[in-house]
Amino acid sequence: MERTLLIIKPGAVQRGLIGQIITRLENRGLKLVAMKMAQLDKDILKVHYAHLVEKPFYPTLEASMMAAPVILTAWEGVQAVSVVREMAGATEGKKAVPGTLRGDFCMSHQENVVHTSDSLETAEKELARFFKPEDFFDYPSPLLYYLYSTDEL
């Protein structure tokens, strides 16, 4: 089983989309294993978006990510990293395919409602960045064998 990070961005928190976003992942069959509300700061964002710090849009990205609290969520499932990434859709919301979170909930490149980890390696780093080991819950999933065939597990 993989674990991945999905951040509900400040704009989506303000727009009242938390429940709808979480419901989409629950409906897909992903298991929520950690969740908290947090106010991000400049230091953590410089690490999280280290690949973008030199970009001209970084100041507005930073301001947008600090404009209100975020919801940090960790999801578990078979191939959870790529499944959640594909559910998010293209970074540029106007080009995101309908049916994806961005394709259904946004019209912007920057105000694009969610962050998702882009690889298993990144997911491990990002989860450790935002959660402590004790924040994760390892509870049984009675529906596991209805969500997957045994040879997928």
| Residues identified as active-site | 115
Query: In angstroms, rounded to a whole number, what is the distance separating the alpha carbons of residues 97 and 86?
Result: 10
Binding-site member from 14, 23, 91, 119 for ligand TYD (CB under 6 A): 91
Contact segment (CB under 6 A) with ligand TYD among 10-18, 20-28, 105-113, 137-145 equals 105-113
Name residues whose C-beta falls within 8 Å of residue 51's C-beta, 6 or more positions apart in sequence. none
Q: Quick one: tokens of 78?
A: 């078979």
Contact (CB, 8 A) for 21 and 114: yes
118 lies in the site for ligand TYD, by CB under 6 A: yes
112 lies in the site for ligand TYD, by CB under 6 A: yes
Output Rg (C-alpha) for the chain, integer angstroms. 15
Nearer to ligand TYD, 57 or 136 (CB): 57
Nearer to ligand TYD, 53 or 153 (CB): 53
- Spatial strand order of the sheet with 70-77 comes to 31-38, 70-77, 2-8, 114-116
Footprint (CB under 6 A) of ligand TYD, residues 124-153: none
Give the residue among 116, 82, 135, 98 at the shortest CA–CA distance from 12: 116
Residue ranges with strand state E in 39-84: 70-77
Binding-site member from 46, 57, 95, 121 for ligand TYD (CB under 6 A): 57
Nearer to ligand TYD, 14 or 91 (CB): 91
Contact segment (CB under 6 A) with ligand TYD among 20-28, 68-76, 112-120, 130-138 equals 112-120
Nearer to ligand TYD, 110 or 141 (CB): 110
Query: In angstroms, rounded to a whole number, what is the distance separating the alpha carbons of residues 22 and 98?
Result: 17
Q: Which residues bind ligand TYD (CB under 6 A)?
A: 52, 57, 61, 91, 109-110, 112, 115, 118
